[in-house]
Structure 1
Amino acid sequence: MTSSSNSNMEEITKVENGSRDWDSGFCSAAMVNVTQKLIAEAIGTFFVVFAGCGSVIVNKMYGEVTFPGICITWGLIVMVMVYSVGHISGAHFNPAVTITFAVFRRFPLKQVPFYILAQVIGSILGSGALYLLLSPEAEHFYGTTPVGSPIQSFAFEIIISFSLMFVISGVATDTRAIGELAGIAVGSTIVINVFIAGPISGASMNPARTLGPAIIMNNYKAIWVYILGPILGTLAGGFTYNLIRFTDKPLREITKSSSFLGSMTRK
């Protein structure tokens, strides 16, 4: 009996140790949390692209949405998804925003590649769903391409991405802002930006939004504009907001070391 009991205890111990090792690995709370965030980002990006690009393609094919309707649709879907999953993943839906948050130490750097992958997958799936449902021709392309010169669109993408990240930084990272209004502020900014830049550059502000339709419809015209422009714009917008963020430290102190950006973003 003693030998049998000892053997049973050893087996139980092995199982318990194995369970702990498993829990501390792939099934750990941290891993589950990250997985939930990635799923939320993919779903959010899917619906942002499905609704926003959907309004574009439906207007091109049937002419019922109108340009103001497209602008409002983009702003509304982003606002809705911010309120739906913002508390889970932060509701980036945009590789440029994710990169900027990481640069300014408001997002873990190691999660950046996974977030970007989830966002691009969500965009591809949203674009693919539209393609399967509506069977568009080449002239119904619902991605973003320059109407004028690529340089003109590049400049527009930088400016409107700057304003988007500036607003996001204000309402989502500053404790003095009214956080409950973040979705409305961000959605409204997108509406304004699409009204201004939509007829010129397509008002992407988001590399994932551009990549999805480009991959599905094999149209990569001036794709660099919509990858580099939003990233440069959001980095500049985040940096500028951090410069004016309230701090009680003298300028010479917050700029004298490599921790300049970190010290500013922690305020």
Structure 2
Amino acid sequence: MTDTPVQPRASLADYTPAEVEAIVAIRCKELSEHLGWEITPPAVKIVSPDALSEAMEADQKARSEKIRGAARDVGLLASMAGWLLRLISPSMLGYFGTHHNTLYLNGEVVPQQAAYVLLHELVHAAQWQRFPELFERLDAGRVAAEDLADRHGDDAEATRIARDHYESLVTFIEGHATLHGRRVCEARLLRDAPTLSADEVRAYVNALTGLDPSDETMAQIYLRGESTLANLDPLQVDAIFREPDQIVRLFSRLSS
């Protein structure tokens, strides 16, 4: 986030709302040119780590209630929070919530890493703006997995199948955000730091992603999704966005 007219700061919390807005506008333009999609900048809030976790849980809760038509039992919701937290954003550096069209960033993150995190979350905003039906399917899949777990237990076959379907959708959208957040970040560095080699840039951006391949969630969701989509051409990926069943076939772990 430091290659803009805004002066660099020690952490995200040190930026003013106006400075954040200016940075987001530049990044949306950059990402729009890369993806070939028109992107409307979402609201962005810089918050504490605790507030970030609370925002994620509140967003998930609101989206689930929209499907159920009522609140889920608080105790059961709390029991699922850890699973969702690990699956959707293992390091909780940022989160895009569709309920209020708001992107939340961890204020303790240094701007260098935030350069990637912001792009990753803006890809999610772009995905939601272009393919809202997929996010409706994502929410329905999460609710189905939760409700089946409530009725039959976590280890029941129906629960495992529903959770696998949901995780397949998450793998697709997170892999897509990881791939394109990484590519845009690398392209900017190659443009603005000509003394760096392509290998040096790749290594640097890889560190910015914070993705540990030894972590099962990161490996199975983020990295597996990214590597799979990297081998497909853009037209194939665009078609997959419109076919959730194809996403499940591509990423199901039960069929492997």
Higher relative contact order (CA 8 A, sep 6+): 1
Structure that is richer in strand per residue: 2
Structure that is richer in helix per residue: 1
TM-score, normalized by length of structure 1?
0.28
TM-score, normalized by length of structure 2?
0.29
